[in-house]
Chain A
Amino acid sequence: MARHMGEQKKETVGTVERKMTDIVMECRNLSKIYGKIIAVKDVSLKIGEGEIKLIFGPSGSGKSTFLRCLAMLIKPTKGEVFLRGECLTKSGVDLNKARARIGFVFQHIWLFHHLTALGNVELALRRVLKLPKKEARERAMQALREVKMEKWAHHYPAQLSGGQQQRVGIARALARNPDIILLDEPTSALDPELTGEVIDTLRDLAKKGTTMLIVSHEMPFAREVADEMIFFDEGAIVETEPPEIFFTNPRSERAKIFMARLIKRTRRE
């Protein structure tokens, strides 16, 4: 079923015309340099409405840094970031307003310890979107329902399992109805038996046509939902292809070696 839905979505979104007009997020020649270390090197990328792109590559290859640059959580050293055509990297942009339109899910989740699941999701609705209490509560509950966590609304993060915490983390990111959700290895800090529930949540979001850029090494999931996969190494994009190509015959030697290793590992699991 999920597979079928995924294909349907691709048909509607995948047309060239749609991609040209509805670019949600774009970066041009983005670089991030720390002293002598080049963490991100000259990366350009476009994500269209309803598209799901998946970034993968060796650890330490700058994927996280790149994602944080896109969310303007780190200031890029060079290059431009656009959100719905609006340039975020020029001076004088209200970055708080821009960040409010970008959902971000962290690898280590980072829920607010002192707030319940509901409180975590509600915070931005109340203090960023400035919704009245009742409306904020309703929308937060709605977001928790989407990740199937409404029963746990009044639990504190410390009382939840890692998988449940990450689902709240996803609800927190999507409650504001952001233009795009960026997910930084949302399952890699979890125990293997807990990744499934998070992947299911992401699959649900994919079915609803949520625009997402995901850093992940969950290959079966990638194959199922990604419109495009991006192989990242040494701070730069090495190869961009539809999943099928990566799984059958990647062009670059580095991607070939990396894919072989990943598929072996996934099989073992």
Chain B
Amino acid sequence: MLDVVQQLLLMLGGVYTTLSVSILSFLLGLTIGLPLAFMRAYGSKPFQILIDGFEKVFRGIPELVLMLLFYWGIGYYFRTPFKNPFFTATFVLGLRSAANQSQIFRGAIRGIGEEQMLAARSLGLSRIRSVIHVMLPQVFISSTPGLGSEYALLVKDSSYAWIIAVIDIMAITDWIRKGTGDTVTPYLLAALLYILLTFPIATWLDTWGSRKKKQLGL
């Protein structure tokens, strides 16, 4: 029987993987989601329909189903890279996050409005420069609270990756439960760890973003 401290030390070994999956999928979501939001806002009709479709699909399917579908289903035909659990978990979470982040950013773009763009264009800035110097900074400030929640969601949903054998906090928790027969402590410790990994950052982003938005009148 392992005591609480020993259990916790074992589980800390999974923190690195949990954070890697969460942060990498967040960055993947950002890299895809941000351009999607601008293409959705300023692009032509076919683009808009395509992006809406992508968002609906990835936001509509449960994360667990997506993960198993890519690992077993698509992985059956494309062993590389989908039979790599770490890759598939990050990839699937990243795509879903792209759909979420695209919506977050689009909301911010809509909130900031056409006027800022028009004011930028009136100075002689090109469309792309207007986006970079006028829209993007404001979009990011406006989106910070939403991005905080999105990060928390990713950390929590990364626990599904245990099912395709990613050795994260959840996987180690389950090992300890199996090995020791202790059905309470491991889960409580896991709960504590997930809260510690999400709550401070998400709260800080929310407070900072809300204060900044208010301060700038966004």
Contact = CB atoms under 8 A, between A and B. Distances in A.
Contact of B121 (A73, A158, A172, A173): A73
Contacts of B137: 114
B125 A114 contact: no
Q: At the interface, is chain B mostly helix, strand, loop or mixed?
A: helix
Interface residues of A, number: 27
Interface residues of B, number: 22
Contacts of A96: 124-126
A114 B112 CA distance: 11
Contact of B125 (A102, A104, A110, A128): A128
Contact of B119 (A98, A100, A102, A106): A106
Given A114-B137, A114-B138, A158-B216, A108 B115 contact: yes
B124 A124 contact: yes
A158 B116 CA distance: 15
B120 interface: yes
A115 B28 CA distance: 29
B93 interface: no
A243 interface: no
B138 A128 contact: no
Contacts of A128: 123-125
Contacts of A112: 116, 119-120, 134, 138
A134 interface: no
Contacts of B129: 127
A162 interface: no
B62 interface: no
Contact of A124 (B118, B125, B138): B125
Given A110-B118, A112-B116, A100 B123 contact: yes
Contact of B123 (A113, A114, A124, A157): A124
Interface string B119-143: 1111111100100011001100100
B60 interface: no
Given A108-B115, A127-B133, A114 B122 contact: no
A112 B139 CA distance: 12
Interface of B: 112, 115-116, 118-126, 129, 133-134, 137-138, 141, 215-218
24 contacts: A73-B121, A96-B124, A99-B121, A99-B122, A99-B123, A100-B124, A110-B118, A112-B116, A112-B119, A112-B134, A112-B138, A113-B112, A113-B116, A113-B216, A113-B217, A113-B218, A114-B141, A123-B123, A123-B125, A127-B133, A156-B216, A156-B217, A157-B216, A176-B124
Given A100-B124, A158-B216, A158-B217, 4 more contacts: A73-B122, A113-B217, A123-B125, A172-B123
Interface of A: 71, 73, 96-102, 104, 106, 108, 110-114, 123-124, 127-128, 156-158, 172-173, 176
